[in-house]
Chains A and B, each alone.
Chain A
């Protein structure tokens, strides 16, 4: 019968809404009561309403289908129970994120200039210079404000002791922010009563902030901004189209742009060629410019790198910023914060083992059944080993890979990710989740109010990626009182 909080079992985990004694955590009381007051029919009606709204609004993500031989659209999965974070906690997290991204941007700028941190031994030079994401073409370039990663999405997880950790920083082309915005929109449509009892901090100033950030990269008074997408079959196409309209930018594909002999970028319009000043690119470095990188790329724009190097167009994010996105380099971020900013990190890293160090490597291969092992340059949860859940054979296979190329791996203890009540067949069950806030850096910096909460819909699973069956929740930053 509906949601019965007495039978909600948080086990030994940290639940975001319900404490171990079954009571609501501070701030979650009205939400807990309101949900308990809904009948099975009410819950089902709202779940169905959310689904219908998402379908009508066209909120989709694209996954590759073997059967269709191309990407197909799936409706964005959404859980109607929001996740709450108190304002006081959020403010600290936001400060920590700004600090972190500031240090990371200093690091990238340093890597492509004097390489002080490498010379001072803060981080081994070979890690950086041999990284797949290090781009010699970026050396000596000075992007505006010294910022390389203008839009960063950092993944946060909470362990069973309630501590938030940074799991990784996505500095290249992070996606998800449009779903954060749309989740709020859907929430307002299907659970309007909830907002009566809460003052939820709005999320929708993100578009203005993104626009401001991108504008600050050009000296033009009213710069022309374009969002560069690989096209309609890309998994994040929905987001590209969404953001372009939200910031009143042109949504372009590589074939819409041309670089002329003046090393400026133009877009092809019905009135002729029009100069573009800022490009928010959602294409990986290696596909940006067939003249510089992958010559087979049809997604990019020939000559784009030259235009960027000449300072005639701003690229957000700047090419080469992935050098700081490497999961092995991640393990050095707290050191980078201390080195560049002279401050103690406000947000901790998940403790990590670097397989490049002999003792740590030995520990890792001996304890694979306890660890999560990640390759340096993969995203979306691909190519990693979740030791405790893997078979002995998978672990053996992975051990060989690690020993063959220790530089390419790092390992972390398996965290007990926090949970939140999630609607499963008209009752609430705990499901693991993470949080991806977005950090903007240009002339100023900005952190989203909350972020995108992703939730693993399968019981016990910690895989939150939507491409692998993950769902999402609206994330509420609420006042403490």
Chain B
């Protein structure tokens, strides 16, 4: 008997992957961006606001705070109750999904997720100073990585695993593109100054993707916008590159039924990346390309919802044969 996977279980496994990955990436983004800002000139007025716009959280942020100060932005992104996409909220959402997945996640994995949640609730209280962030963010990332590692080593490779994996990869692709946004729009108003710090900014993006070493090993080119973009968008072997994530999602989808639509969308993004001349893009052009990628990734998410998760979808009228 093959165990069929409930649509609701598939959806939760997918969101577990997304929330976990987003939590880790948010921590990583704040850590890397903080370090980058210490190296940039003090007078960048909107430096911290950039983080909000990278994550497309301008509206909820404006509701909660007047001023994009370091204190407010960090509070908002880490643990502000007004932010449904805060690090803490992502971890709590991951835990809530995990609770409903006790039949498909090995028990220890569930315990690790509880540990992460307990750790977050313990550490992310009130406003975190720079030194507390420096101490806490790596700790949280480590805890999240432990979960991913355990699940990768132990989960049965059936449908719940596949949806969890798609969630992780789709979120990672999205976050990689946002990390690149970080360099493309770091809040400079003076063009000359922007130029001067270009290398530093793009190196930070590599660091945020844990890809500095990989970059050096894969390419002899000095760091520039075009080379880093190419590396993070098109490299075949880098686990955080868009191409890698998209190809792997495609592989996972092949094992599922009714995969035509999302696979067609994947092919479209890959075509877009292949056909864009990255060397010819200025920063605004790069930003527009990244926006286009993020839009297409959202479309894939919607298609997964329709094909697999939504109980009202047309596909469900088909009867599955008893295995």
Q: What is the interface of chain A, defined by CB distance below 8 A to chain B?
A: 55-58, 222, 232, 237-238, 241-242, 244-245, 248-253, 255-256, 258, 266-275
Contact = CB atoms under 8 A, between A and B. Distances in A.
Contacts of B111: 56-58
5 contacts: A241-B102, A253-B8, A269-B320, A271-B5, A273-B316
B296 interface: no
Contacts of A242: 102
B316 A268 contact: yes
Interface string B304-323: 00001001000111111010
B6 A272 contact: no
A55 B118 contact: yes
Interface in B154-189: 159, 163
Contacts of A269: 4-7, 320
B139 interface: no
Interface of B: 1, 3-10, 96, 99-100, 102-104, 110-111, 114-115, 118, 159, 163, 256-257, 308, 311, 315-320, 322
A241 B99 contact: yes
A248 B103 contact: yes
A253 B7 CA distance: 11
Contacts of A222: 1
A401 B288 CA distance: 73
B306 to A, nearest CB: 12
Given A56-B115, A255-B311, A270 B256 contact: yes
Contacts of A273: 316-320
A132 to B, nearest CB: 32
Given A57-B114, A241-B102, A268 B318 contact: no
Contact of B4 (A58, A249, A271): A271
Contact of B6 (A56, A248, A250, A275): A250
B6 A267 contact: yes
A158 to B, nearest CB: 35
Nearest to B95: A58
A319 B235 CA distance: 60
A69 to B, nearest CB: 14
Nearest to A266: B319
Contacts of B102: 241-242, 244-245, 251
Contact of B5 (A55, A57, A237, A270): A270
B93 to A, nearest CB: 12
A56 B311 contact: no
A255 B9 CA distance: 12
A241 B5 CA distance: 15
A270 B308 contact: yes
Contact of B118 (A56, A232, A241): A56
Nearest to A247: B103
Contacts of B1: 222
Nearest to B104: A245
Contact of A272 (B103, B115, B118, B315): B315
B100 A271 contact: no
B257 A270 contact: yes
Contacts of A237: 99
